[in-house]
Chain A
Amino acid sequence: MSSIADRTHDWSGEAAAARRRRRYAADRRLRIYGMSAIGIAILLLGILVTTLVFTGYRGFIQTTISLPVTFDAELVDARSPTEGNYREILSRSIEQLFPGLEGPALRRAGQILTNNAQFLLRSAVYDDPTLVGRTVDVAIPASDPYDQLNKGIIDRDLPENRRRLNDEQISLFEQLEEDGRVETRFNWGLFFNADSRFPELAGLAGAIVGSFFALLVCFLISVPMGVGAAVYLEEFAPKNRWTELVEVNINNLAAVPSIVFGLLGLAVFLGWFGMPRSAPLVGGLVLSLMTLPTIIIVTRASLKAVPPSIREAALGVGASRHEVIMHHVLPLALPGILTGTIIGLAQALGETAPLLLIGMNAFITSPPGGLLSSSTALPTQIFIWADSPERGFVALTSAGILVLLGFLIVMNGIAIFLRQRLEKSW
């Protein structure tokens, strides 16, 4: 019994206890590493969300100047509201707003309003021709620097040469503030305006419509094709080298970088088939090719989850294989397919790179009228704004991102809801 292997051990002795203390210390260290890793990840997510919210909330509010406008019947005809001399109406209003100013000083004062103010007046009359001949207060968005000033981004206490606005400009604005003409209101234009060169007028309407069209195309193509392919591969295909090839192919397709799909779209859809650039149809086609593998994989997983006993039971009463699938397997797999589809579409909604290559990053100032008209999409609009030099676009970019994230949260929320409500576990 002298062998070390037969020796009994003094587990409670000092040496053993010290060793255990060391081992527990190592255990605690690993735990701390893990906790810090998760802490870092969550911290980064927190920083990301906080910066977006802190820069983005300003995009949801807008500084407007309530401008007293007289729609002089001499200058505009109620019967053809698009043809009035709005430039003159506007400059008279500005004169009224700043009595005592003239010449270049008045022109500088007029820059407090957005550049497109006269077009806003035009659309006001277009919407309501009875305005002609009356004097009303019209809320006109302030131009970007004054908007920044009102939101406190331009610091009034900085020395003059380090601000974008000089003392004269600030005192003009402060005069308007004293008159109670400056208002801060919710920026509905963010949702109802299309893109613009001026941040105070730019909105997401075009991008939202473009994304909707592209997703619609993506949905109409990828879902039937994906489900069809998945049903064939899972339920009918013989297990041979050919189907194995298809399977490997689909798995790899799911991991191909998205930009490669953009190259495909550019070369094939635009180059070979001559489809129009920037069209939501082409965007949708490219996105559907990207989403297809996801949908096939998810559908196959849901089909696999349906227990074979159900198939056997249906076959046993004399149903054909197609009837088994149509009547029993697909309905049972539907919640999973639906969830996967929504998640796939959410991914497609956030996809940017392939849309850049097919030109969905164009500068387009009206929402697309159809599948073939030029358009942007939400993520490409965000990209365009992020690239724009005006300070006001920073807030708009963040706001646009928050809107995009909002859509994604809603879609994923629906998917989670469906999964919890409908999915059975066998």
Chain B
Amino acid sequence: MKTREMATGQDEGNGTPASSGRSFAENQRLDREPNPLKATARDVCVFYGEKQALFDVNLDVEDRSVTALIGPSGCGKSTFLRCLNRMNDTIAGTRVTGRIELDGRDIYEPGLDVVELRARVGMVFQKPNPFPKSIFDNVAYGARIHGLAGDKSDLEEIVSTSLQKASLWNEVKDRLHEPGTGLSGGQQQRLCIARAIAVSPELILMDEPASALDPIATAKIEELIDELKENYCIVIVTHSMQQAARVSQRTAFFHLGNLVEVGPTEQIFTNPQDQRTLDYITGRFG
């Protein structure tokens, strides 16, 4: 894994206040050694046509940890997530301002290669979306298009390792050439995770990855996320506060397009600084 030190990110993170008015440093609990920063967002605004969906979001994402984005539906958490791999570009009429850096490089700078960016930033969607191809071809797809495997055995290794990491290997190893769409919902979602990690991304974005799944499948996915954070940096959008509490180290609360509060998960859920966060986690709205 790449662990390039991003001094600039640290500095900016310490110096710039989050939208809630508190500095990044204040939000850090000292009982946990902060990991180096993977990505930073500064004054990010997103417009869908005339409508503004995000207002001046400032957020830092630590490497090798899970950052959860929570908030009521329509609060902009998914919009922010989709900014991190520029998937918003695929929706006509979307405009993003501000600065988002991945390892210190602005991902919205002109001339940046989105294909390269998306290879480095993987994504798992709300509804499992395996391609109508075999399980093997699904996982191998990214490696194939990016030319990661030198030969067939490399490819097979990538597929098997990725499926193992996604803890799906044992269930599908005998039917790798059956269509991926034939799996159950939970298996399909783990297939999509395997597909994402087969490219060895540095950052994995997950957009409510368990919302379409039953509780057992959800538990498996959460377990998987917990394991993956040892090697990957993960940002997850979830509408379930319990899920955020279970899997994440840091939590950011969005409301009406604003980032209200961000901090260590424990602090957000036990001692929120903002009244809106308190209202949300105690179930008064959303």
Binding site for B on A (CB under 8 A): 3-9, 11-12, 16, 19-20, 23-24
Contact = CB atoms under 8 A, between A and B. Distances in A.
Given A4-B158, A12-B116, A19 B146 contact: yes
B74 interface: no
Contact of A9 (B113, B150, B161, B200): B200
Contacts of B154: 4
B61 interface: no
Nearest to B198: A5
B120 interface: yes
11 contacts: A4-B150, A4-B158, A5-B158, A6-B161, A6-B200, A8-B1, A8-B200, A8-B202, A11-B120, A12-B116, A16-B116
Nearest to B163: A5
B116 A11 contact: yes
A19 B158 contact: no
B119 interface: yes
B51 interface: no
A5 B200 contact: yes
Given A12-B116, A20-B115, A20-B116, A7 B200 contact: yes
B251 interface: no
Contacts of A24: 115
B2 to A, nearest CB: 6
A324 B199 CA distance: 58
A151 to B, nearest CB: 50
A59 to B, nearest CB: 45
Given A16-B116, A23-B145, 4 more contacts: A5-B198, A8-B200, A9-B119, A16-B146
A310 B68 CA distance: 43
B149 interface: yes
A6 to B, nearest CB: 7
B63 to A, nearest CB: 13
Contacts of B200: 5-9
Contacts of A12: 116
Contacts of A8: 1-2, 200, 202
A20 B119 CA distance: 11
Interface in B166-213: 198-200, 202
Nearest to B145: A23
A376 to B, nearest CB: 50
A23 B2 contact: no
A11 B1 contact: no
A16 B113 CA distance: 12
A8 B198 CA distance: 11
Interface of B: 1-2, 113, 115-116, 119-120, 145-150, 154, 157-158, 160-162, 198-200, 202
Nearest to A21: B113
Nearest to A22: B147
Nearest to A19: B147
B161 A5 contact: yes
A9 B154 CA distance: 14
B161 A3 contact: yes
A19 B120 CA distance: 15
A170 B145 CA distance: 74
A7 B148 CA distance: 10
A3 B157 CA distance: 8
Nearest to B164: A5
Nearest to B116: A11
A238 to B, nearest CB: 34
Given A4-B149, A4-B157, A5-B200, A20 B162 contact: no
A45 B157 CA distance: 53
B157 A9 contact: no
A7 B120 CA distance: 13
A5 B162 contact: yes
A37 B145 CA distance: 26
A28 to B, nearest CB: 13
A19 to B, nearest CB: 5
A4 B148 CA distance: 9
Contacts of A11: 116, 119-120
A19 B115 CA distance: 11
Nearest to A11: B116
Contacts of B199: 9
A394 B8 CA distance: 78
Which of A3, A4, A5, A12 has the most C-beta atoms of chain B within 10 angstroms of its own C-beta? A5
A391 B163 CA distance: 75
A420 B131 CA distance: 38
Contact of B113 (A4, A7, A20): A20
Contacts of B161: 3, 5-6
Contacts of A3: 157, 161
A9 B116 CA distance: 11
B149 A23 contact: no
A20 B202 CA distance: 19
A18 to B, nearest CB: 10
A19 B161 CA distance: 24
Contacts of A16: 116, 146-147
A14 to B, nearest CB: 13
Nearest to A24: B115
Nearest to A10: B2
Contacts of B147: 16, 19
A12 B116 CA distance: 8
Contacts of B162: 5
Contacts of B198: 5
A23 B149 CA distance: 16
A19 B145 CA distance: 9
Q: Which 4 pairs from chain A and chain B are nearest by CB?
A: A5-B161, A5-B158, A4-B154, A19-B147
Nearest to A9: B200
A4 B120 CA distance: 16
Nearest to B165: A5
B29 to A, nearest CB: 30
Nearest to B3: A8
A38 B99 CA distance: 38
Contacts of B113: 20
Given A5-B200, A8-B200, A23 B115 contact: yes
A23 B114 CA distance: 13
Nearest to B154: A4
Nearest to B153: A4
B252 to A, nearest CB: 27
